[in-house]
Structure 1
Amino acid sequence: MKIIVLHGDDERKLYGRLTKFTETAKSRSWEVAFLDSRSLSIREELSAPSLFGAERFFILRDIKKLGRIETDWLKKKSGDLAGNLIIYHEGYIPQATLKSLPKDIKVEEFKLPVILWNFLDGIYPGNSAKTITKLRMLLEKEAPEFIFTLIAKLFRDLYWVKIDAKSLPYPDWRVGKLKAHSSKFTADKLIFLIESLAEIDIKVKTSKADLVSELDLLIIKQLE
């Protein structure tokens, strides 16, 4: 069995890569199966023969389903299994987990550009002028919809880390960084920002507002 791991924080490119793999598999008439939605265990699914005698293409989107029992089994049996397995994860899979998989796996990592991280890290009250400047630079290369998605996810994570940091599905270093960032906001402020972004999303999708203008106003008014 050929195993490919797709992970990283650039979810746009990550999903695009998964889509390309899936479309290629379908164009070859392979049998595509999402392991997350199946009632059988991963071992049962990967061991079962194809109903139609076609090449099998498995996709696993929930890394939590890969426990020690499953990874040990994959290490022993992957060479005898037919088909392809894509392990897809939005975020970074811990090195310990990657090392527990068969040695011949292929790992593809998709990182957000540093300029995007610098922009997100600079979003906090009192820094509106610099945030607007960086936003202008980003808009020369990135779609406003993509930047909007990143901002929305940031505010969600900042609120999440405030109310229940232990449940965040991120490594400790990332949680620590979010805690420091979140300390610059009150919980009420984050709720307001999240609700404001939801309103902007509706207005833009119903053609009642321009996304870039709305982001400008939000940053200027709420991060001054």
Structure 2
Amino acid sequence: MKVIILHGDDTQKSYARLRIFIDVAKERSWEVNYIDESAQSFEEILSASSLFGNERFFILKDVKKLGKKEYLWLNKRQEDLSGTLIIYNEGPLNAATVKNFSIGTKVEEYKLPVLLWNFLDNLLPGKGEFCVRSLHKILEKQPVEFVFSLISKHIRDIYWAKVDAASAGFPFWKINKLKSQASKFDVLSLQKLISVLSAIDIDVKTSKADLISELDLVLLKHLE
């Protein structure tokens, strides 16, 4: 069995890659199986024979479904199993998780550009004008909808790290980074910012607002 891991901070590119795999599988009439949606165990799904004798194609989006037992079983049986298994994770996987897979596993990591990372790290009070300038540089190469989704997710992560970091489930390094950023905000400010971003999302989807203009205003007003 061929095992491929797709992960990374650039979820737009990793998901686009997943869609390519799915489209190719369907074009070739492969049997596509979504492991997350099945009531069967991981081992049962991968061991089952194809109903029509077609090539089998498996997708797992929740890597947390795999425990020590599943990893050991997969690594032991991988050469004997047929088909392709795609492990898709919305975000980066830590090194320890990746090491659970066999050496023959193909890993594709999609990282955000440095400029985008720097922008997200500088979403801080007092950085409004800097963030607006950075935003417009980023928008020269990235779609505004994607950047907006990153901003919204990052602000939610900052809030989570501030109010209940223990339950976030993020890697240690990420928790520390988010906590440092969260320390510059008070809880009420983060709650208000999340609410404003949610309202913008609704307005843009109903064609009541221009997303770039709204982001400029949010950054200048809430990070002044």
TM-score range, shorter chain: over 0.9
- Secondary structure, aligned partner of 2:89: strand
Cα RMSD between the aligned structures?
Answer: 0.9
In the TM superposition, what whole-angstrom CA distance separates every residue of 1:92-130 from its partner, at most 9, and x where no partner exists? 222222222122111101000110010011111111111
CA distance in 1, matches of 2:151, 2:132: 13
Alignment of 1:39-188 (within 5 A): 39-188=39-188
Amino acid at match of 1:167: S
Amino acid at match of 1:113: P
In the TM superposition, what whole-angstrom CA distance separates every residue of 1:29-65 from its partner, at most 9, and x where no partner exists? 0010111111111001000101111111000111111
CA distance in 2, matches of 1:222, 1:103: 47
Cα deviation for residue 11 of structure 1 reads 0.4
Of residues 130-139 and 161-170 in structure 1, the stretch that sits farther from structure 2 once superposed is 161-170
Q: Which residue of 2 aligns with 1:23?
A: 23
- Secondary structure, aligned partner of 2:40: coil
Count of paired positions: 224
% same residue: 54
CA distance in 2, matches of 1:50, 1:6: 24
Amino acid at match of 1:144: V
TM-score normalised to structure 2 length: 0.97
Structure 1: 4+ residue segments shifted above 3 A: none
In the TM superposition, what whole-angstrom CA distance separates every residue of 1:173-199 from its partner, at most 9, and x where no partner exists? 011000000111111111111110111
Cα deviation for residue 203 of structure 1 reads 1.3
- Secondary structure, aligned partner of 1:81: coil
Q: Which runs of 5+ in 2 are unaligned?
A: none
Q: Which residue of 1 aligns with 2:210?
A: 210
Q: Which runs of 5+ in 1 are unaligned?
A: none
